[in-house]
Amino acid sequence: MSLPDPFRVAIISDLHYGSPVEAARGHTFLNRIQNPLRRWLVKQQRHWIWLREPWAHNHLLDRFIAEAATAHLVVANGDYSCDSAYVGVMDEPAFQSAADCLQKLRAAFGGRLLAVVGDHELGKMMLGQKEGGLRLASYARATSELALEPFWQSRVGNYVFLGVTSTLLALAVFESEALPEELPEWRRLREQHLESVRRAFDSIRDGERILLFCHDPSALPFLWREESVRARLRQVERTIVGHLHSKWVMRQARWLSGMPRITFFGHTPRRLSTALREARHWADFKILLCPSPAGLQLFKDGGYLTASIDPSGRRPAAFEFHPFRWESREAKVPSLRPK
């Protein structure tokens, strides 16, 4: 059967869908930060820079579904809920968000959908408070009830699409956020994941082109250490990452790459500086950011990507960014009063 040329791929990342039960938590989850100065700083950061109401942009998923209706393949690059309990989808409201989000995507695209596991599916410690982190119960739920595959591959003509789980690959960065009794199992899962990755890279044939999908670019230096991956690195045409939400964050991350590791100020600066110190390897993977649909509060610079692919691989894939304009109700400035 001949493949359409161009073969059109639509890519969305960091949807952070808010189910009614998760959205009902509103800003209250920030009240867990006990230190008043830290709480105030985190609230300011979320209000002015990151995203004021992460759960309030669900309609962007509907817009994406409508605009991507004719795509031959759709990739969702991780983070389907708001993870407002910081323990991933073992939390029922976060599970509902991810389930609603994936159900909408699957209903729209069926077998054309490939879905990556993000870090928020598995849990992530909150900024400003040592609370939450990765949980095996969330991994189990993500891979069973949500039917997310930690590793997948799909061939389209001369192209191989590969999806990996960044949290498993970069486990060394996240280990301090896991429960000590769960660490042996996380390490076993990582080894199992790496085996799948090695087998896939070993089976790549000369002349094939790879499009790699990885939620968090922190994982890429760990992939680089794998001989099987390095042997085929020149065939990686692009690595599509998410997680950073905005081109602006990506620029800062590149600028800060090579910085020394910050071991004071707690877990988040330590995790971020460890990841950034290794960011010099990102270039080898030819990374391309798919921003979140809403982008940053500060710049409102979200959207999604499309790729136009020649299945024979004679022409390189042409990527295009499609911005989402904020509606006036999203852009309005709500009160900063503590809720």
Nearer to Fe ion among residue 121 and residue 310 (C-beta): 121
Closest CB to Fe ion among residues 81, 129: 81
User: If binding is defined by CB under 5 A, does position 177 make contact with Fe ion?
Assistant: no
**Whose Cβ is closer to Fe ion: residue 273's or residue 308's?**
273
CB closer to Fe ion out of 120 and 209: 120
Return the residue of 22, 119, 177, 310 that touches Fe ion, per CB under 5 A: 119
For Fe ion, the binding residue among 190, 243, 245, 271 (CB under 5 A) is 243
DSSP 214-245: ES-GGGHHHHHT-HHHHHTGGGEEEEEE-SS-
> Using CB atoms, what's the residue nearest to Fe ion?
243
Q: Which stretch binds Fe ion (CB under 5 A): 73-81, 157-165, 230-238, 273-281?
A: 73-81
Residue 70 CB, nearest distance to Fe ion (Å)? 28
Provide the minimum distance between the beta carbon of 167 and Fe ion in the complex, in angstroms, as a whole number: 9
Nearer to Fe ion, 160 or 253 (CB): 253
121 belongs to the binding site for Fe ion (CB under 5 A) = no
**How far is it, in rounded angstroms, from Cα 70 to Cα 109?**
9
Q: Which of residues 273-332 bind Fe ion (CB under 5 A)?
A: none
C-alpha to C-alpha distance for 176 and 189, rounded to whole angstroms:
17
- Considering the rule CB under 5 A, would residue 79 count as an interface residue with Fe ion? yes
Q: How many residues does the chain have?
A: 339
Task: Report the nearest approach of Fe ion to the CB of residue 216 (Å).
Answer: 6
Nearer to Fe ion, 95 or 159 (CB): 95
Phi, psi of 94 (to 5 degrees): -65, -40
Report, in Å, the least distance between residue 174 CB and Fe ion: 12
Q: Least distance in Å: CB of 225 to Fe ion?
A: 22
Query: Residues 6 or more apart from 160 whose CB is under 8 A from it?
Result: 153, 154, 200, 204, 208, 209, 210, 211
Are the C-beta atoms of 192 and 217 separated by less than 8 Å?
Answer: no
Angle between helices 92-109 and 59-67 (to 10 degrees): 20
Q: Where are the alpha helices (DSSP H) in the chain?
A: 20-23, 36-44, 59-67, 92-109, 119-122, 136-143, 166-169, 171-174, 183-202, 220-224, 227-231, 247-256, 267-277, 328-331
CA separation (Å) from 258 to 46, 189, 244, 280?
A: 26, 29, 18, 7
Residue nearer to Fe ion on the CB measure, 135 or 243? 243
Near Fe ion by CB under 5 A, which window of 5-13, 97-105, 112-120, 324-332? 112-120
| Least CB distance to Fe ion at residue 144 (A) | 21
Is the Cβ of residue 57 or residue 243 nearer to Fe ion in the bound state?
243
Residue closer to Fe ion, measured from CB, 30 or 241: 241
Name the minimum Å distance from CB 45 to Fe ion. Answer: 16
The string of DSSP letters for 261-325 reads P--SS-HHHHHHHHHHHTGGGGGGGTEEE---SS--TTT---EEEEEEE-TTSSS--EEEEEE-P
Q: How far is the CB of 292 from Fe ion (least distance, A)?
A: 9
Q: Cβ–Cβ contacts within 10 Å for residue 263, how many?
A: 10
Q: Which residues bind Fe ion (CB under 5 A)?
A: 79, 118-119, 243
